[in-house]
A and B are shown apart, each in its own frame.
Chain A
Amino acid sequence: MYAQLVDTGTKRLKTREEMSPEERDFQDKIDAETKIEAKNWMPDAYRKTLVRQISQHAHSEIVGMLPEGNWLTRAPTLKRKLQLMAKIQDEAGHGLYLYSAMETLGADRDEEVQKLHDGKAKYSSIFNYPTLNWADMGAVGWLVDGAAIVNQVVLQRTSYGPYSRAMVRICKEESFHQRQGFQILLDMMREGTQAQKDMVQDAINRLWWPALMMFGPHDDESPNSQQSMVWKIKRKSNDELRQMFIDQTIPQLEFLGCTAPDPDLKWNEETGHYDFGAIDWKEFYDVLKGDGPCNRERISTRRKAIDEGTWVREAAVAYAAKQKQRAAA
């Protein structure tokens, strides 16, 4: 999931009696699966929650370019270089598209980006892990985009219209990225040397647990989930989504001939799902707080890009103003 621990600003759910007439109408619409559009009335907390979630999602797309950019200059063939460039370009596009969806709620892109650079806004914890070998480009596509898709497929039915439509478009491209990522790993496992196969297993070992953490804390530790579910901003719980991801990923892992770094992982006949080991939640909260392996580097790179680009954007604005003046004269 590209949005984790999104604060709804609500302490508990309101009963129907406690709601104002507007709030009751709004909730009725949601319950009837009518999409909320930008011009419709909505509770302030709903608007703020969505701004937080969509901006986190957009920030994740943009910060997510950095771990891939780390290997872009070292892509080993022309074909892989072209694929990776196209993927990164898609991600920048997703970022733009999501910021636009967020702006329909009255938020400002520059302000939200500033919050990111000030360390006040979150983005997916996964992008704070380093990419250490070429197989990471496959594993990121397969596991990270794979985990994102599980969440985003459900979000296609989210209650806010512009966000829901953005998800439909983004899901199509993410699925393509995921297949491409898997293919990178499969080619290395099937036709690669031992050194290449070792790279694949190493990438999976490092990214496996962080990928599972993408779905956020357990449901009973997720204080904002209940309100988000009632508003249908979220449609499935963190644990449900994580289980779906594991169930669909293990057969692919076996197909690759690789293993997961989890001795407790096993098929459970009774439940019809895979059981898996305990997630290190301390690590998750540390990374979210800013103490992951690459948090500081990621933010400082993004801040530097935008700060050093200030004069470029100012030049564009100044030139446009001059052109307009000339046209009017």
Chain B
Amino acid sequence: MTEQKALQDYLIRLADSDMILSQRLCELCGKAPAIEEEMAVMNVGLDLVGQARNWYEYAAELIDDGRDADKLCFLRDALDYRNLLLVEQPNEDYAVTMARQFFFDVWHYFTLKSLVDASDERIANIAAKAVKEATYHLRRSSEWVKRMGDGTEESHRRIQEAFDLLWRFTGELVTPDDTDHAMFKAGIGPDPEKLKQDWFGMVREVAAQATLKTGAEDAWMYMGGKSGVHTEHLGLILAEMQFLPRAYPDATTW
């Protein structure tokens, strides 16, 4: 794999994960458990779409085949999507929504923190803004995990079930493949070994404070998102998200 190809792949992964998680958050509009949460959910979602746009725009310039950020987002099918499987999982109850957010936020925070020092200036600049947003996202989701874990009996049961349900999708966050290794070598992406330690370290620390159990590091893990092999959910997400550009291919402006 050439470094250029790996870089394009890496940018698309970052963008797709932001985009798909944001799409799940959009589904919650008007349905969050409190008005304060409506604002927070929309705020996190907005940050993620904004970041996705920045990554797509840079990816589009590098790919340079006439597609812009919108085309990359709205006209690729599931097999070309490279988001983490975790973010395409359904909202279910607010415990699943928040556990998904927390697992992602820990990964996102450490990834962006490392990208701030990327040898690629454009990436470093995008990450510098994004990491501030991700810091807030992580603080919020950590707080909710603690509130639910150490709240009532029911909330404890629900968030523990959510941790158990989603644990199998977390391996993908910290298992490097060729692209991850290439990005580390190029002085762009995080050290895969360090990312793994950081992720487990923080997840276990917050879980302990929340009186929650985490799964084993060597548990069976469901992977494939980074190479375009997804769960059944992504096809449906894209069918909805891409409906208008697909249904009206002649439309050049919206």
A contact set with B: CB distance below 8 Å: 62, 65-66, 68-69, 72-78, 80-82, 85-86, 88-89, 92-93, 95-96, 99, 134, 184, 187-188, 191-193, 195-196, 301-302, 304-306, 308-320, 322
Complex CA gap A193/B43 in Å reads 33
Whether B26 contacts A73 by the Cβ 8 Å rule is: yes
Whether a CB of chain A sits under 8 angstroms from the CB of B99 is no
Complex CA gap A150/B128 in Å reads 42
Closest chain B residue, CB of each to CB of A184 = B254
CB-CB under 8 A for A187 and B253, given A65-B38, A76-B74, A316-B151: yes
Whether A312 contacts B53 by the Cβ 8 Å rule is: no
Complex CA gap A68/B29 in Å reads 9
Give residues of chain B (236-254) contacting chain A, Cβ–Cβ below 8 Å: 240-241, 243-245, 248, 250-254
By a CB distance below 8 angstroms, the chain B residues around A315 are 147-148, 151-152, 154-155
Whether a CB of chain A sits under 8 angstroms from the CB of B39 is yes
By a CB distance below 8 angstroms, the chain A residues around B243 are 74
18 A-B pairs within 8 Å (CB atoms) are namely A62-B38, A69-B26, A73-B26, A74-B240, A76-B74, A76-B251, A77-B74, A78-B52, A78-B69, A78-B70, A95-B35, A184-B254, A195-B248, A308-B33, A309-B32, A315-B151, A318-B151, A319-B150
Question: Contact check: which of B32, B38, B69, B244 meets A74 at CB < 8 Å?
Answer: B244
CB-CB under 8 A for A305 and B251, given A89-B39, A312-B94: no
Distance in Å from the Cβ of A193 to the closest Cβ of chain B?
5
Interface centre among B73, B150, B253 (most CB of A within 10 A): B253
CB-CB under 8 A for A305 and B49, given A78-B70, A85-B42: no
Whether a CB of chain A sits under 8 angstroms from the CB of B50 is yes
CB-CB under 8 A for A77 and B254, given A72-B26, A89-B42, A318-B152: yes
Whether A88 contacts B151 by the Cβ 8 Å rule is: no
Closest chain A residue, CB of each to CB of B151 = A315
Closest chain B residue, CB of each to CB of A196 = B251
Whether A85 contacts B49 by the Cβ 8 Å rule is: yes
Whether a CB of chain A sits under 8 angstroms from the CB of B30 is yes
Whether A301 contacts B39 by the Cβ 8 Å rule is: no
Q: Which 8 A-B pairs have the closest CB atoms?
A: A309-B33, A315-B151, A315-B155, A69-B29, A76-B244, A89-B42, A312-B33, A319-B147
Distance in Å from the Cβ of A50 to the closest Cβ of chain B?
20
Whether a CB of chain A sits under 8 angstroms from the CB of B193 is no
Whether a CB of chain A sits under 8 angstroms from the CB of B196 is no
Interface centre among A66, A81, A188, A306 (most CB of B within 10 A): A81
CB-CB under 8 A for A314 and B151, given A62-B35, A96-B39: yes
Closest chain A residue, CB of each to CB of B70 = A77
Whether B253 contacts A305 by the Cβ 8 Å rule is: no
Closest chain A residue, CB of each to CB of B98 = A312
Whether B152 contacts A96 by the Cβ 8 Å rule is: no
By a CB distance below 8 angstroms, the chain A residues around B121 are none
By a CB distance below 8 angstroms, the chain B residues around A319 are 146-148, 150-151
Whether A312 contacts B46 by the Cβ 8 Å rule is: no
Closest chain B residue, CB of each to CB of A86 = B46
Closest chain A residue, CB of each to CB of B48 = A85
By a CB distance below 8 angstroms, the chain A residues around B252 are 191
By a CB distance below 8 angstroms, the chain A residues around B33 are 305-306, 308-310, 312-313
Distance in Å from the Cβ of A65 to the closest Cβ of chain B?
4
Whether B254 contacts A96 by the Cβ 8 Å rule is: no
Whether B152 contacts A188 by the Cβ 8 Å rule is: no
CB-CB under 8 A for A193 and B250, given A302-B30, A312-B155, A319-B146: yes
By a CB distance below 8 angstroms, the chain B residues around A196 are 248, 251, 254
Complex CA gap A72/B245 in Å reads 14
Distance in Å from the Cβ of A164 to the closest Cβ of chain B?
22
